[in-house]
Structure 1
Amino acid sequence: MPSGIRMRDGRRLAFEEWGDPGGTPVVLLHGTPGCRHGVVPQEVIAARPGVRFIAYDRAGYGDSDRGPGRRVAQAARDVAALADALGLGRFAVLGRSGGAPHALACAALLPTRVRRVAAMASLAPPTTEGLNWFEGMAASNVDEYTRALTDPVDFADRLASRAAAVRADPAQLLASIRDGLTDSDRRIISTPAVSDMLLRNYRESLRTSAYGWIDDNLALLSHWGFDPARITRPVLLWHGAQDTFSPVGHFEWLARQIPRARPVLDPDGGHFAALEALPDVLDWLCATPRTDG
């Protein structure tokens, strides 16, 4: 059973910690669907002895209670409450895939607490000028997001059925998104360390219900509750140019909007190439140049 804190609205927020208790704190925000186990492989954690890793289950996932109607901005309030409970001063935030917009929320809404943020393979907000949101996106994702926008009840029913199948066999999730996987993605997720992490992640994330998955998608497709252009903290945007789950146009739009963005584009990378980029990204997150303010 993971540790947990009680939020002001009564929800339980489940979290775990790894690494050096006195090290540089880095809060990890998982993907969609996901949980506290699904951001950084254990071998990467073990190779960073001076880092205190803190990961939590977003509302509705794993052992965290649901927060119906939540927006992406809710992540900033949850992270702030978790940081307060753990006695953190300033800290870094890393979000990958569906966790990346939630990491950007922390950058936007917690400017006095957050040192640096890394948003890896992030989507852009759904209502943006100068971006065709679905261009370059895998058919499976286009279908899922379109259904969420046009028939949310049917969308929720279908996702609940998928979640039940994933609970029985977590590999079902990877099979269902195969149309969007690049050759490099297939190579990466077939390695034992990554495969074990992802399967454990999917099983635990959907163990109690599909609510986290449903609410994540609805939040990502609604107004995020903040404007990326108003972010003042340093943000590293990492992206794979071949990504079809978060197409490269989203990365390019965010890079234009975020004032202190540091864009890093892997020309050959797909969605899961972010896992191979983690060591360099963590090095940047944990650095302390004077220019960060």
Structure 2
Amino acid sequence: MVTETDIALADGRTLHVYDTGPGGREDGAELAVLWHHGTPNIGTPPEPLFAAAAERGIRWVGYDRPGYGGSAPRPGRDVASAAGDAAAVADALGIGRFAVMGHSGGGPHALACAALLPDRVLAVVSGAGLAPFGAEGLDWFAGMGPSGAAELGAAVRGRAALEEALASGDFDPELFTPGDHAALAGTWGWLGDVAGKGLEGGPGGMVDDDLAYVAPWGFDPAGVAAPVLVLHGGADRIVPAAHGVWLSRRCPDAELWLRPGEGHISVLGSATDALDWLAARAARRG
């Protein structure tokens, strides 16, 4: 069961928060994992992983990034700003140290928390996540589907160009591999639901996300001291695998799980194994 609440921040904003709640494990082995959602989504934790998480003593926490769902906008936010919001969520729920997991656009935000909250973040999973725009040695747009590259290319030109591109563009199903479509037709159809909810209030959150991805992030992945698992599909057409390879080489303590033939969504077939990795690494540092 997921409970939802709003928390007030010191700057006057409100964040909408999700929590599966303490599991009450007698052995004290419970691990809080803060979920960072993709673009465009809301922050409710990943329902397809609830059963696996419960078996592993994992408590899910999430929140709508500013401009999505029930969270107030934060104009001009960068990726690094997620760290302060995540800390506020953890404080409000009485959570000290925690792990982070993000998929797609959530990957950079999860890494931000690890880089900027080194005393609190135990371990990181970044699934199908972007590398920083302009990353040295990376052809950032290479391998992206045409519509995705056009969207982020418009973001490089600024808010007005991006808003125009989003208003005139249609979703391109070719961004997804056959495996992605199969995953979306099955358990991970959940992502389609949260994507729809992420756009119910308009494209503002998506615009702010895209602008943040192509602007300076506010931190360097090389500053992430916590262990990082980079999970990426070799056939990903939304965020090409080269982004994951770059991140795995940049983060000091990173492990790359490159899944040949998997796409942006189908790579989540390895998410339960990633939870095992996360729990094991967090336990070593907890």
2:12 aligns to what?
10
2:196 aligns to what?
203
1:185 aligns to what?
180
Partner Cα distance (1:19, 1:44) in 2: 15
SS at match of 2:166: helix
- 1:157 Cα offset (Å): 3.6
With 117-126 and 181-190 compared, the bigger mean Cα shift is at 181-190
**TM-score (norm. length: structure 2):** 0.91
**TM-score (norm. length: structure 1):** 0.89
1:27 aligns to what?
34
Does the 8 A contact of 2:48 with 2:188 survive in 1?
no
Pick the aligned partner of 1:152 from 149, 152, 159. Answer: 159
Partner Cα distance (1:190, 1:258) in 2: 34
Q: Cα 1:45–1:291, aligned 2, differ >3 Å: closer, same or farther?
A: closer
1:169 aligns to what?
none
Partner Cα distance (1:21, 1:289) in 2: 17
Pick the aligned partner of 2:69 from 41, 62, 70. Answer: 62
Runs of 4+ aligned structure 1 residues displaced above 3 Å come to: 19-22, 288-293
Partner Cα distance (2:254, 2:158) in 1: 35
**2:188 counterpart of 1:194:** yes
1:286 aligns to what?
279
Does the 8 A contact of 2:7 with 2:89 survive in 1?
yes
SS at match of 2:53: coil
Aligned residues: 277
With 20-29 and 242-251 compared, the bigger mean Cα shift is at 20-29
2:27 aligns to what?
none
Residues 49-73 of structure 1, C-alpha deviation per residue, up to 9 Å, x if partnerless? 2211001100000110000000000
Pick the aligned partner of 1:244 from 231, 237, 259. Answer: 237
Amino acid at match of 2:51: A
Amino acid at match of 1:8: A
Does the 8 A contact of 1:119 with 1:235 survive in 2?
yes
Pick the aligned partner of 1:91 from 81, 91, 98. Answer: 98
CA RMSD of aligned residues (A): 1.8
Does the 8 A contact of 1:160 with 1:209 survive in 2?
no
Q: Cα 1:143–1:290, aligned 2, differ >3 Å: closer, same or farther?
A: closer
| Identical-pair percentage | 43
Residues 142-176 of structure 1, C-alpha deviation per residue, up to 9 Å, x if partnerless? 111111212531321443577xxxxxxxxxxxx71
Does the 8 A contact of 2:123 with 2:281 survive in 1?
no
Does the 8 A contact of 1:255 with 1:262 survive in 2?
yes
Residues 171-182 of structure 1 aligned to structure 2 (within 5 Å): 176-182=171-177
